[in-house]
Chains A and B, each alone.
Chain A
């Protein structure tokens, strides 16, 4: 077999799904071919790295909290089944920064910006920042755009400085969840723009990105504007 064919079996070899004969051919080739050996060890390293991707430790007492929540939940809402897999219990477990702001829109270009308190996060940390947006009436097909500073990116959108969505906002409080990854030690500001019907609402959130392990959240800030 050629090296290319051998490399085609690499995944099966590592998954242990080669037949006995194939296994023998594979091993024999590998025993004599430096190039394929390198290919194999590179792939092994890749897989090991994938396994080693860090998992943030569970928050303390999560286990106690979660079993208690389950028992309480059952007492509390027999009839509210939809809530169980939906929104509600979700926020209870969140670690988050909550910023509540009341919706008032200005015309485009924006004449006012809500400046929110500074948030500190650590380099290489992924944290969710949650903004709560209170709409006085339902907004159909609003455009939500996030403008990011260089020091921070939105998880799943590497390198993108602006990310936009179309969204329907219900009347009342709406939660905007942004999983953010801090990239460099640097301060910067993130802006959330919500546009609807030629009007815009702008919120600016300042970031201080710190050395790993330094960050902490300040107490929840609830500026009722």
Chain B
């Protein structure tokens, strides 16, 4: 007979962290591709985590957490761009002004061979010019490896539509790159 070990009941925060923690890096990567800067990507992920925490009981019943989380991230991103995309200015709510004093430090560029880094930077610049729609589909499909049936669930858009959107997004990016002439 095996020993029976009785664990103390986990605090619900620990449980939440245990569930979501392993996917945090992935969510950040996707957010980074969507947003283009670390600051925005971290903001988006933080918003998501806060939102999910409020309904953390639900998470425990989700079978495939990664695509489920990707979907939640995507929806939040789409909500946010609807809200903010028109102008780079937003008002600071009066009760949040204290947050303006916060600052943290910087990161270093990952070490890469110079020429390739420059090439990738050019590609990044072209990628940044794509519409949100095109950026999100390329991120999820071509960069993060979700397939179309998965994306149908994540984005709530039929496979056929996604497929043609994907083609157009690639075409547009290839076009921009070609015009740029770096490659």
Contacts and interface: CB of A to CB of B under 8 A. Distances in A.
Interface of A: 11, 46-47, 49-59, 62-63, 66-67, 69-71, 73-74, 83-98, 100, 122, 124-128, 132-133, 144, 153, 155-158, 165-170, 172-179, 181, 212-213, 215-217, 219-220, 222
Contacts of A100: 100
Interface of B: 13, 16-17, 21, 24-25, 28-29, 32-33, 36-40, 42-43, 45-47, 49-54, 76, 79-80, 83, 86-94, 96-97, 99-110, 112, 117-121, 123-129, 138, 142-143, 166-167, 170, 173-174, 177, 183
A61 B28 CA distance: 13
Contacts of B87: 144, 165-168
Contact of A169 (B17, B91, B118, B166): B91
Residue in A126, A127, A216, A219 whose Cβ sees the most chain B Cβ within 10 Å: A126
Contacts of B47: 84-85, 89-90
B13 A55 contact: no
Given A85-B51, A155-B128, 11 more contacts: A67-B49, A70-B53, A73-B50, A84-B54, A85-B79, A90-B43, A126-B37, A128-B39, A133-B89, A167-B86, A181-B125
Residue in A89, A98, A133, A176 whose Cβ sees the most chain B Cβ within 10 Å: A89
B92 A124 contact: no
B74 to A, nearest CB: 14
Given A50-B123, A124-B109, A95 B53 contact: no
A222 B103 CA distance: 12
A221 B124 CA distance: 31
A126 B36 contact: yes
Contacts of B76: 85
Given A91-B99, A173-B100, A156 B36 contact: yes
B24 A51 contact: no
A69 B54 CA distance: 12
- The 6 A-B pairs with the shortest beta carbon distances in the complex, nearest first, are A70-B53, A170-B91, A167-B87, A173-B92, A90-B43, A56-B38
Nearest to B87: A167
A62 B49 CA distance: 12
A134 to B, nearest CB: 9
B42 to A, nearest CB: 4
A97 B120 CA distance: 26
Given A73-B53, A166-B87, A179 B40 contact: yes
A73 to B, nearest CB: 5
